[in-house]
Amino acid sequence: MTRSFFLLLFILSEFSFSQVYKKSEPFTHTYSIVARDSVTGDMGVAVQSHWFSVGSIVIYGEAGVGVVATQSLVNPSYGSKGLALMAQGLSPQQALNALLNNDAGQMYRQVAFLNHKGDVATHTGSLCIAEAGHRQGKNFSVQANMMLNNSVWNAMADAFESTTGSLSGRMLAAMKAAESERGDIRGKQSAAILIVKAESTGNSWEDTIMDLRVEDHENPIQELERLMQIHKAYDFMNKGDVAMEHGNSEKAESLYMKAQELFPDNLEMQYWYAINLLNNKQFDKAKPIMTSIFKQNADWKTLTSRLVVSKLLVVTNDELQEILSW
């Protein structure tokens, strides 16, 4: 027998239940989406619920393997065990069936698996609280339970299929569509999104593209959208920093400007853009920006001196004194 077979037996033995319902299983009734970008291969899962910190319970993902949403009367082990089974080569349907067949509470579960090929499998248990249902499509599945209306999952699917652009943007459109149908019958509280790469780099910190959570908010989808915008801005900032490290100041300036366009009121983004200008000896262009920043918070002057020591700001001592006088 192969090592994979023994691993499968271990996973299933650990998964078996002696009772239909455990008090420790949270009532995370919700709506969610699992999806894959057909161009990049990146995979994502997003969720919203009237439950605190829904992202810590419902969504799971692993680069090069797939993503999972496990909800309704949640059994969180569907997440880690589902990913483990798909990593061993089982299709989403095979992995889901294996776990459902060993779960005495499967009639209360709502689960969606998606793998790196875009294959999906979804289960909505017969005792999930109405309105409950799901819809699959190419590279995605949407699922919902305890909704006010039975139109939620179809609205989500239509929105995802009709929206163009990034994977995160399309997933957000699906989430907004759910809210437009009035979503969870109890209201709203938390939301989360996780996106992982199509292939693993071997470094977990590089494999996660986006991991954002709104733990408790009166408008979680709106707040999640705001965080996604900031995340995109900081992604440009990070890439700008890398460009600076590599000595490509022209590329760095372009990236910093893109970040500022997304987050114009952020002083730090303005600051690093100005530092890049100073490194390019564009003092006249940097001066009004730095002057405004120093006026708002003099601590940036202290940081500026430290950058010279770290060789991230390359100016003479006379030039530094001029800058600090602004």
Residue 222 lies in a domain: no
pLDDT in tens, 9-48: 445 444 444 344 454 566 667 999 999 999 999 999 999 9
Helix (H, G, I), strand (E, B) or coil at 294: helix
pLDDT of 136 over the 70 cut: yes
Same-domain check for residues 67 and 207: yes
Phi first, then psi: give them for residue 239, nearest 5 degrees.
Answer: -70, -35
How many distinct structural domains can be found in the chain? 2
pLDDT of 1 over the 80 cut: no
Q: Tell me the mean pLDDT in the region 265-271.
A: 92
- The span from the CA of 17 to the CA of 21, in Å, is 9
Same-domain check for residues 199 and 259: no
List the CATH number of the domain containing 320. Answer: 1.25.40.10
Q: Find out whether 290 and 315 touch, Cβ atoms under 8 Å.
A: no
- Beta partners for 35? 44, 140
Could you give the percent of the chain with pLDDT greater than 90?
81
pLDDT value at position 25? Answer: 65
Q: Which residue has the higher pLDDT, 284 or 252?
A: 284
Same-domain check for residues 123 and 248: no
pLDDT value at position 13? Answer: 46
Which two structure tokens, joined as six digits, stand for 9? 């037996």
DSSP one-letter code for 129: P
Same-domain check for residues 279 and 181: no
Q: Which residue has the higher pLDDT, 15 or 6?
A: 15
Same-domain check for residues 126 and 65: yes
- Helix residue ranges per DSSP H, 35-166: 55-58, 77-87, 92-100, 152-162
pLDDT value at position 130? Answer: 96
Q: Which residue has the higher pLDDT, 14 or 175?
A: 175
Same-domain check for residues 36 and 144: yes
pLDDT band at 245 (very low <50, low <70, confident <90, very high): confident
Same-domain check for residues 212 and 238: no
Among residues 148, 182, 217, the one where a domain terminates is 217
Residue 224 lies in a domain: no
| Selection from 81, 127, 84, 86 nearest residue 108 by Cα | 127
pLDDT value at position 158? Answer: 98
| Selection from 77, 64, 74, 154 nearest residue 114 by Cα | 64
pLDDT of 125 over the 90 cut: yes
Could you tell me the pTM of the whole model? 0.87
Q: Find out whether 114 and 95 touch, Cβ atoms under 8 Å.
A: no
pLDDT value at position 18? Answer: 36
| Helices and strands, number each (H, E), in the chain | 13, 11
pLDDT value at position 19? Answer: 40
147: Cα separation from own chain's centroid: 23
pLDDT value at position 280? Answer: 86
Same-domain check for residues 187 and 276: no
Helix (H, G, I), strand (E, B) or coil at 46: strand
pLDDT value at position 211? Answer: 97
Host domain of residue 64: 3-12+25-217
Among residues 189, 217, 245, the one where a domain terminates is 217
| Selection from 122, 109, 110 nearest residue 17 by Cα | 109
pLDDT of 159 over the 90 cut: yes
- The span from the CA of 270 to the CA of 70, in Å, is 41
pLDDT value at position 115? Answer: 98
Phi first, then psi: give them for residue 122, nearest 5 degrees.
Answer: -135, 145
- Cα–Cα–Cα angle for 118, 109, 188, rounded to 5 degrees: 85
pLDDT in tens, 77-111: 999 999 999 999 999 999 999 999 999 999 999 99
pLDDT of 225 over the 60 cut: yes
Among residues 158, 188, 217, the one where a domain terminates is 217
Residues in the chain: 326
pLDDT value at position 249? Answer: 78
- Angular region, 187: left φ>0, alpha ψ -120 to 50, beta rest: left
Same-domain check for residues 178 and 314: no
pLDDT band at 3 (very low <50, low <70, confident <90, very high): very low
